[in-house]
Structure 1
Amino acid sequence: MSELRAVLATREVPTLLGTSLIGRLPTAMATLAVLLLVRGQGGSYTLAGTLAALFTAGSGVGQPFLARQVDRRGQFRVLAGSGVLSTIAFGVLIATGADHPVASAVAAAVAGLATPPLEPCLRSLWPHVVRGESVLRAAFSLDVGVQEVIFVVGPLLTVAAVDVLGDGGGVGACALFGLAGTAGFALTAASRGWQPHPVTTGPHGSPLTNPALVRVFVTAFAAAVPVGALAIVAAAFAARHGDTAITGWALAANAGGALASGLYGAVRPLRATGGHAITIAGVCLAVGYLPLALPLPVWLWLVAAAISGVSLPPLLGLAFGRVNEISPPNLVTEANAWVVTAFTVGAALGALVAGVLTDQLASRTAIAVIVLGAATITAFGSVAAGVRAREPVSGTRPAP
């Protein structure tokens, strides 16, 4: 508890957390907002899905690029520029909508590409804002846990905005929250005062050439596969029971389990660190998803959905802490962004494969195959990365 109090009592921590959460709301709102915009204007599900995919893919590509600019030029200019560009792109998307699919596709892609890198920027700031290893671990755990709030609140805000403002209200809310949160974050003294670490010799380099960092990225990718597949699994489970509301309850339960775990981790930070600890957390995440493969009663399946979210905050907290520990100072923001991108890609792949399997198999079989397959990928990826972490790499010092 003392570590959590120390984090919350640190100057600017509430502001940094609050503004970053507001600025990251579009990541939890955009898919539903685009769907409601396109369908409300008579467009097809195919167009809506394409636009949502372009936004997500754009964000996955843009985050490392923008974070690299942060490492070279500082946070304020990059956040300000990307925030304005993303807002304009959302505005264009509202104007074009279902009637101009090509223009809408470009706008959705640009909105994703220009998504301000608030998450990696915040993770890079923590070591400069709080002091002490245990306090820093509490900050990472609180950050990762509290971010689950946006995935609960985001869809509700989207629906409310559409009810009040019409078909484009959800996309407009994405623009408003994204710009307001980014501006608030970029104007904090911590963000404005963060200075890029100069490269004294040689090229700027890349986190992708660092084997120890790549192992963290692989674990994040593997851990995201069951997370991305959960929405499809929950929808299939809901269809079996003839109640579509189960899907929303399952996702909320999963997010609630992750939120509770993150808050607990902030109160009692993990003492273990390093690649071995990340491997254990990854295996625990895989095991936590296994009960979802069983034909349980609805109430018990929802409990299992909550349990499946418990191991995610410790895993991501350890991953981001590891990145800040081993990354070269001039690459730390980009390295944090690659964790985000790896997780995004893993979740997208999980959802894609889960959708295909659900279309091809009976629902009960599909659920079991998806859950078992996704958990296997998570466990295998975590263990493989942990094994590699104990092997010396030519020309580098073995990761501790």
Structure 2
Amino acid sequence: MGIYRDLGRSPGVFGILFAQLTARFPFGMLSIILLLHIEQAYGLYTYAGIVLACQSFGQAIAGPLMGRLMGVFGMRPVLSITTLVCSALLIAIAWVHLPLAVVAAMAFAMGIATPPVTPAVRTIYPKMVPGHQLSGLFSLDASAQEIIWVFGPVVAVFVSSQFGTEWGLMVAATFMLFGGLWFIATKAVGRVRIPQARRRFGAVLRHPTVVIATVAGFLFVASFAALEAGIVAIFGHGALEAGVVLAVFAGGSLLGGLLIGHRQMRPWSMLLRSLVVLIGTALCLFSFEAWWLSVVLFLGGLGTAPMFAALSTTVSATVKFSETAESYGWVGTGQLVGVALGSAFAGVAIDQYGPIGAIIVSIVFLMATVILSASCMRIIPDLQGRNATPIPDTEPVQLPNAAGSHVSD
């Protein structure tokens, strides 16, 4: 635990951690709020799934593209424009009742304008702390991310059930706008310059580790989105038990992240961590009582934040610094698409089979995560005795030869 004390001694670390957490918090709320908002407005979870799928398609395009653009135009301009546009579209969806096709188009545009906070902050981290502390910082970030993905739905369910889904969307827009401005104003965002990548867009996907982290993140987060939708369906829109169960799940994840996530990653780390989550989720099938769900999801949560830390560490340790923003863009796209599609599949399953359908969808996604982690152990880096600092970019260096002229090395 001393690693977190050491991180606190690095100037600006906790400030940027809290700023990016606030800016990213709405994305833990949006899938559930949009699911409830569209279902109540149009009558079917399936329609909500269509809107979420459009949003996810936009996010799939935006994630790596915005990461790339930050290397061209700088972080602050890209973050500022996307934050303002995405917030405005969210407010419009909340208050203007339009045909479903128009709302779906707005959701797609909102996905395109998703602020690239995640690739920005994870590109900044290696410039803020020594290499031997980077795994600990990724672990702390992963624990914070769990606040987003698990406490976000708690806030979403509470506000939507007490004041209406319109106000739930307004709360999300407020977090996005003011959290984004806070993050943009931090010194680190202005100080760190992402080198312009030399290779064409998408070339980072030649790194097997980037593909693994993207696909694993998609499957892993989709399972949570389906699980959260199932929990809400079990207890109903207005019941606070859903929020309590999800909060306990978050508590297990936070504890797991702080105790386990900073440990040096080994090739089998992703397998063990995802397996813990699978076991906890599968045990939900034995009872839908709130106390039982709280117990088993707390246990499953112990592997959640450590799994996210492993994904970030895998990417950081295997790509060049100039490629980190785009790489994290792809990983972030996988996770955001996972949220949307996990909720969409869960919505259809709830319409057809009830809450148990969403739980089964979650289990299927987790089983796929475990299988992927097991099959990729030969590719995942062994960081025993190593740090996760990105590979430095190199420039041609002019060296004098014996005759006094220069040659490139």
Band of TM-score, shorter chain: 0.7 to 0.9
Letter in 2 for 1:130: V
Please give the TM-score of this superposition, normalised by the length of structure 1. 0.81
For the pair 1:270 / 2:263, whether they are aligned, the reply is yes
Q: Is the 8 A contact 1:79 1:116 kept in 2?
A: yes
Return the alpha-carbon distance in structure 1 between the equivalents of residues 258 and 22 of structure 2.
19
Do the aligned partners of residues 221 and 157 (structure 1) sit closer, same or farther apart at CA in structure 2, a change above 3 Å counting?
closer
Q: CA deviation at 1:156?
A: 2.8
Letter in 2 for 1:126: Y
Q: CA deviation at 1:8?
A: 2.2
Do the aligned partners of residues 175 and 227 (structure 1) sit closer, same or farther apart at CA in structure 2, a change above 3 Å counting?
closer
Please give the TM-score of this superposition, normalised by the length of structure 2. 0.80
Comparing 117-126 with 23-32, greater Cα deviation is found at 23-32
Equivalent in the alignment of 1:79: 79
Q: CA deviation at 1:141?
A: 1.0
Q: CA deviation at 1:310?
A: 1.4
Which protein has the bigger helix share?
A: 1
Equivalent in the alignment of 1:394: none
Counterpart mapping for 1:84-99 below 5 A: 84-94=84-94, 97-99=96-98
Q: Is the 8 A contact 1:287 1:375 kept in 2?
A: no
Equivalent in the alignment of 2:400: none
Q: CA deviation at 1:302?
A: 1.6
* Aligned-pair Cα RMSD in Å: 3.3
Q: Is the 8 A contact 1:222 1:381 kept in 2?
A: no
Q: CA deviation at 1:208?
A: 1.7
Do the aligned partners of residues 290 and 12 (structure 1) sit closer, same or farther apart at CA in structure 2, a change above 3 Å counting?
same
Instruction: Structure 1 unaligned segments of length 5 or more: list them.
Output: 391-400
User: Secondary structure at 1:382's aligned position in 2?
Assistant: helix
Equivalent in the alignment of 1:192: 190
Q: CA deviation at 1:307?
A: 1.4
Equivalent in the alignment of 1:214: 211
Across the two proteins, how many residue pairs are aligned to each other? 379
Equivalent in the alignment of 1:337: 329
Do the aligned partners of residues 301 and 25 (structure 1) sit closer, same or farther apart at CA in structure 2, a change above 3 Å counting?
closer
Do the aligned partners of residues 92 and 193 (structure 1) sit closer, same or farther apart at CA in structure 2, a change above 3 Å counting?
same
Q: CA deviation at 1:292?
A: 2.2
Q: Is the 8 A contact 2:223 2:362 kept in 1?
A: yes
1:147 to 145, 148, 151: 145
Q: CA deviation at 1:82?
A: 0.9
Q: CA deviation at 1:371?
A: 5.7
Return the alpha-carbon distance in structure 2 between the equivalents of residues 345 and 192 of structure 1.
29
Counterpart mapping for 1:217-232 below 5 A: 217-232=214-229
Counterpart mapping for 1:7-156 below 5 A: 7-34=7-34, 43-45=42-44, 48-94=48-94, 97-133=96-132, 135-150=133-148, 151-152=150-151, 155-156=154-155
User: Secondary structure at 2:97's aligned position in 1?
Assistant: helix
2:375 to 358, 361, 384: 384
Q: Percent of aligned positions with the same letter in both sequences?
A: 23
Q: Is the 8 A contact 2:51 2:107 kept in 1?
A: yes
Q: CA deviation at 1:291?
A: 2.0
